[in-house]
Amino acid sequence: MNQENVVTNNAVVHLDDDGFETEVIQSKKLALVDFWADWCQPCHMMAPTIETLAEEYGDRVLIAKVDVDANPVTTHKYGIRGIPALLLFKDGQLVQQIVGVQPKDKIAGIIESHL
């Protein structure tokens, strides 16, 4: 893991364009990626939920965040137009996308359905 491309905050991993491929696409681990921005109030509303999910799933699921303003390549590649956007990847493939603020139980149910 290249520390320049990946920053951890508790259990949440903050990724940039360079680290996304290695940490999410090449990973065999289920990955939930939160596309967000600092100016986005709904994104800030989702942050505690994302952190809680990261703590609860620990090493079983990669929980990551990508700042859309700082990482335009990845944001464009996945067609992110509304945030917060949660993308779930399994075996490097996008399997589900959820846009907007969502309850923790709904997100956990989606994660569980892919474990």
Over residues 10-37, mean pLDDT: 94
Domains, the chain, in order of start with CATH, read: 6-114 (3.40.30.10)
- pTM tops 0.75: yes
- Phi, psi for 102 (deg, rounded to 5): -130, 150
pLDDT score at 94: 97
Over residues 80-92, mean pLDDT: 96
For 38, half-sphere exposure in the C-beta direction (CA atoms, 13 angstrom radius) is 3
Catalytic residues: 40, 43
